[in-house]
Chains A and B, each alone.
Chain A
Amino acid sequence: MAREKSSKDNAQALFNSLRSAYAVTPVNLKIIDLYVGFAVFTALIQVVYMATVGSFPFNSFLSGVLSCVGTAVLAVCLRIQVNKENKEFKDLPPERAFADFVLCNLVLHLVIMNFLG
């Protein structure tokens, strides 16, 4: 009884402290996080769709899922490079980070368009 209560308390405390710590992140990082969440959500929808309908043009399924995963991963990389708290990247101007992000996304989507069939 006591242990259940304490683990539930632990979970609550964890959740609350995470929430409060997240609330102070700057707005631009929150936008990037929203974008990542959206991309992962789209990927999940595609996987569920494939599970119901079947994976016949497998290359199309792969290109769809990988474009979502790819752009999520690239957004996370952008977030890392733009985040002011990361000391490793304090010399990197955010414009350069964004330019790299755009270039990688361009390559990603060109390949996806070729792979879509």
Chain B
Amino acid sequence: MATVTNTPVSDLLKSFKLKTKQQELLIRVSILCLVYILAFIIRLFSVLRYESMIHEFDPYFNYRTTLYLTQNGFYDFWNWFDYESWYPLGRIIGGTLYPGLMVTAVLIYRILHFLRFAVHIREVCVLTAPFFASNTTLVAYFFGKEIWDTGAGLVAAILIAICPGYISRSVAGSYDNEGVAIFALLFTFYLFVKAVNTGSLAWSLASAFGYFYMVSAWGGYVFIINLIPLYVLVLLITGRYSMRLYIAYNCMYVLGMLLAMQIRFVGFQHVQSGEHMAAMGVFFLMQVFYFLDWVKHMLSDTKLFQAFLRITVTCAVAVGTIALGLGMLSGYISPWTGRFYSLLDPTYAKDHIPIIASVSEHQPTAWSSFMFDYHILLFLFPAGLYFCFKRLSDATIFIVMYGLTSMYFAGVMVRLILVATPAVCLISAIAVSATVKNLTVLLRSKNKGVLTGSTKGSSSSKASSKALLDQSQPFQKNGAIALLFGAFYLLSKYATHCTWVTSEAYSSPSIVLAARGAHGNRVIFDDYREAYFWLRQNTPADAKVMSWWDYGYQITAMGNRTVIVDNNTWNNTHIATVGRAMSSYEDEAIEIMRSLDVDYVLVVFGGVTGYSSDDINKFLWMVRIGGGVFPVIKEPDYLVNGEYRVDKGAAPKMLNCLMYKLCYYRFGEMLTEYGKPPGYDRARGVEIGNKDIKLEHLEEAFTTSNWIVRIYKVKPPNNRW
């Protein structure tokens, strides 16, 4: 009996039922929306736990410049000379920064204000990085679709949304160049691969604009301008020269180079620096290739063409080498700068440039870091490489090259794991998508095979082969189901790991420290901000503060006082002067401080709380950097038998240098831990050697509640009589 009563309802439902293509589109759009939201909210841990503030050191400079941009407009920002840092030299900020991040944040701020959302610029700054992380997932989807298919694109979007390698530098509050730069990097690469695939001038123009955005955002654009020529070279060598490649590369190179030179910090480097010469060389090579291709096309006689080919190639190579040689010898083309040379030769920085070697992010990467940041992607990466090699095309060659070069650089420097993350996510996505697709095809094909075997009147050989297939099918199907469950288990483990890593390791603001008290309650140390606000409220407006360069940006941004050196580290001699002052006896140091007009000295001390990133632990780097410029400071003077000690057995120069005195002044009477003698340093785990410290030229101005930041005032010289 047919149910006639529900006809109108069932008709209504039938009208909602979508065709397969529309269903698929709905699934894809909803997945992308969910991934977009997920990428944003997973980065909000520190905002929820602490407050909406800017983290670390570098973002404070970016925040200060953004504030200046909102208050004074673009022309003043672009021509800004800052006299509040690097006293007495000052810093040309307009010409020495990458404006992309600040301009982006101010643009978002103005759009929100136009829509009548009255947010403070700090909120916009804090949330810029998660917003761009969400946009990166969308770009990853389109890129995956370009390289492989939509399934790989979706998996790539999901993987990159929660990958810890990317989260580490784009968490909410981390207002740093990398937050926007990774988006710009992936976007530029996507547009370029699209241009090579379609051969359209419009896509090449878009990729030139993408490159311009990348150059305005981060110094790591050198990676793009070297990877793309390398990719073009590999395509030429493997015989994949085509007109589309010519159009894409030439348009992108010329327009991209011109646009990039509009950023003052980059200047003329595209035609003068050794790091950019690869791109120019490949540009000329492409012209030669095109010319030869054209001549070959016009000539019908191959023997004549061979002769012509030989002449042209030898001429071109000769001219190229002569030009390059002349340029390098005459010094017109500058050699690779230390920052990038140390990537090719990792031992270079340790011997020659101690400032670069001292940054913790520049150390080589350990295996544990790779596992921590990538988890299952680490073994999915080689699997993805295998799939890429099976289906070689212009696009997969690109992603393979990007993956391999970025993995090499990620191995050299911890910070560059960030650059490798999109490549690793994309290649792993190919592996996951291809495997899952093969498995589900296996699951589905069994039914089809049985159907066709029964409906068609097949010949005897076919029947026997079908019978064989039918016999092995059940095991194949079970195997496929088991493998699919395994894949699901792995991916869910990945999601758990990523969430745990983000919550535990990458969400700390660094400026606010947290610890567990004796009863398990959370104790917050807000000493940094306490000290900076004390500076802001209790010192004269033109006071100059001397501290180690780590804290420079924070002091200018939050304390609003002039500093001697800050994180920009553009002047090594100035930093070495401060290092020398910190490592000398008080009488020598006061001469240096008076010559620099220093009014206050700020040191960071972790002995009471057990905070281990304090100035005493960084002291040897101060000695090395100071000693690099002033040979009077010798590192062995501060060590005992090659060992760095602060207790009774320490070197006498160590026990009496300015840094020691400033950190441990009055500490000898302090009881820090139950059962230990007074003056027990909890960060080093020893009782200090020199407890009776007297300061002659400085006096203590302020010590924070947990003794983390200590500020001293330089006393004016005695009256003469």
Contacts and interface: CB of A to CB of B under 8 A. Distances in A.
Interface of A: 10, 13-14, 17-18, 21-22, 58-59, 62-63, 66, 69-70, 73-74, 76-78, 80-81, 85-86, 88-89, 92, 97, 100-101, 103-104, 107-108, 111-112, 114-115
Given A74-B201, A77-B201, A101-B201, A89 B307 contact: no
Contacts of A81: 199, 201, 247
Contacts of A86: 243
Interface of B: 199-202, 204-205, 208, 242-244, 246-247, 250-251, 254-255, 257-259, 261-262, 268, 271, 290, 295, 297-301, 304, 307-308
B262 to A, nearest CB: 6
A103 B205 contact: yes
Contacts of B297: 85
Contacts of B290: 76
8 contacts: A13-B304, A14-B299, A17-B298, A17-B300, A63-B258, A66-B258, A74-B251, A77-B201
A62 B308 CA distance: 33
A89 B461 CA distance: 47
B205 A77 contact: no
Contacts of A115: 258, 261-262
B242 A88 contact: yes
Contacts of B199: 81, 88-89
A70 B299 contact: no
Given A18-B295, A62-B271, A77-B201, 18 more contacts: A13-B301, A13-B304, A14-B304, A18-B299, A69-B254, A73-B251, A74-B201, A76-B290, A77-B250, A81-B199, A88-B199, A89-B199, A103-B202, A104-B201, A104-B255, A107-B205, A112-B258, A114-B262
A2 B111 CA distance: 78
A18 B304 CA distance: 11
A21 B299 contact: yes
Please list the 9 inter-chain residue pairs (A to B) with the smallest Cβ-Cβ separation, ordered nearest first: A100-B201, A21-B298, A70-B254, A77-B247, A73-B250, A111-B258, A80-B243, A100-B202, A104-B205
Contacts of A97: 201
A21 B305 CA distance: 13
Given A13-B304, A21-B299, A89-B243, A77 B259 contact: no
Contacts of A14: 299, 304, 307-308
A18 B299 CA distance: 6
A39 to B, nearest CB: 12
Contacts of B271: 62
A18 B294 CA distance: 10
B251 A77 contact: yes
B276 to A, nearest CB: 13
B255 A80 contact: no
A56 to B, nearest CB: 13
Nearest to B261: A115
A104 B301 CA distance: 37
Contacts of B301: 13, 17
Contacts of A78: 201
Contacts of A101: 201
Contacts of A114: 262
Contact of A80 (B208, B247, B295, B300): B247
B201 A62 contact: no
Nearest to A18: B298
B238 to A, nearest CB: 18
B306 to A, nearest CB: 11
Given A89-B199, A104-B201, A107-B205, A62 B261 contact: yes
A30 B340 CA distance: 46
B298 A104 contact: no
Contacts of A111: 255, 258-259, 262
A69 B259 CA distance: 15
A111 B290 CA distance: 27
Contact of B257 (A66, A92, A104): A66
